[in-house]
Amino acid sequence: MAQPLYFLPRVALKHDATPAAKRQAVQNAGLGEIFVDVKPEDIGFAAIDGKGPGDLSGTIVFYTDDREPPPRAGYFHLQQTWHHVNDDLWIGIHNDHPPTPADMRRAKVFRGYEMELGDGNEWMIPIIRRPTDLGTTLPQSQYIEGGKLVKTLKAAYKRYWDHSEEVADGFLAGKEFTNIRAHELAVEALGLNYRFGHNEQKILGLVDSENYIALLSYTIDLPHVNAVSEAQKKTECQPAE
């Protein structure tokens, strides 16, 4: 199996490219979020001097951190399918080696619920917010004050926490949000644990009409919330002695 490959038309990276140059190249192509947890020295690339996707020259980039490298880290049009995203980006998938969770997982994966998605594989859906106690699996800073441990969500994850309030309100407070917004939030949540975004979704179809609501429910630990609610109801219904 293999990760997606990213072709940057008209971008020339030399073998001695600096970490800053590699980082800038992926950011210019709109891949900053996909590669955000990839160290510059772990950004691999292959120069395409002749005709690549769209008959253009450029550079193919991929990640080389703790995982299997791509079986073909270049342009092989008979073995790959290339998807045009925009003037600055093409995404290639190996025909015989479709991406798996192991290929696309981030350096840090947050625990939650394993769920089968549109490709038939099991993916880890992170618990972003637990409404019963406002708990989270996301990283927090902490210190002791007045004999208590004070925790604060790290700034890099605040967007996910804020958006999870929309999900909680939708499931628990009856506040409506559109199907488009629900889809956006589902893709965003999956992108916490995997190098995955809306471009990859369009190609791989992991989030679909049958799973996106259940996926969102796991991000707020809804099974646990429902279990707590049922336990409280049973307690309240107990006859007084």
Residue 237: per-residue pLDDT: 65
d(CA 38, CA 59): 17
Of residues 66 and 195, more confidently modeled: 195
Q: How far apart are CA 147 and CA 140, in angstroms?
A: 18
Average pLDDT, the chain: 93
pLDDT-derived band at 50, boundaries 50, 70, 90? confident
CA triple 101-104-110, angle to 5 deg? 75
Contact indicator for 5, 53 with CB cutoff of 8 Å:
no
Place 230 in a pLDDT band, splitting at 50, 70 and 90.
confident
3-state secondary structure of 67: coil
pLDDT at 224: 94
Report the distance separating Cα 77 and Cα 53, nearest Å.
Answer: 8
| Residue 83, pLDDT score | 98
Q: Would the pLDDT of 215 be above 90?
A: yes
In three-state form (DSSP H/G/I as H, E/B as E, the rest C), the secondary structure along 170-205 is: HHHCCCCCCHHHHHHHHHHHHHHHECCCHHHHHHHC
Give residue 1's pLDDT: 79
Report, as an integer, the average pLDDT of 19-36: 95
Q: What is the pLDDT of residue 103?
A: 96
The answer on pLDDT for 107 being more than 70 is yes
Q: In sequence order, what are the residues at sequence separation of 6 or more whose Cβ sits closer than 8 angstroms to the Cβ of residue 93?
A: 4, 5, 80, 81, 83, 99, 203, 204
Q: Is pLDDT above 80 for 160?
A: yes
Of 187, 181, 225, 219, the residue nearest 205 (C-alpha) = 187
Percent of the chain residues topping a pLDDT of 90:
83
The pLDDT, as a whole number, for residue 7 is 97
> Residue 162 pLDDT more than 90?
yes
C-alpha span between 93 and 135 (Å, rounded): 37
The pLDDT value given to residue 232:
77
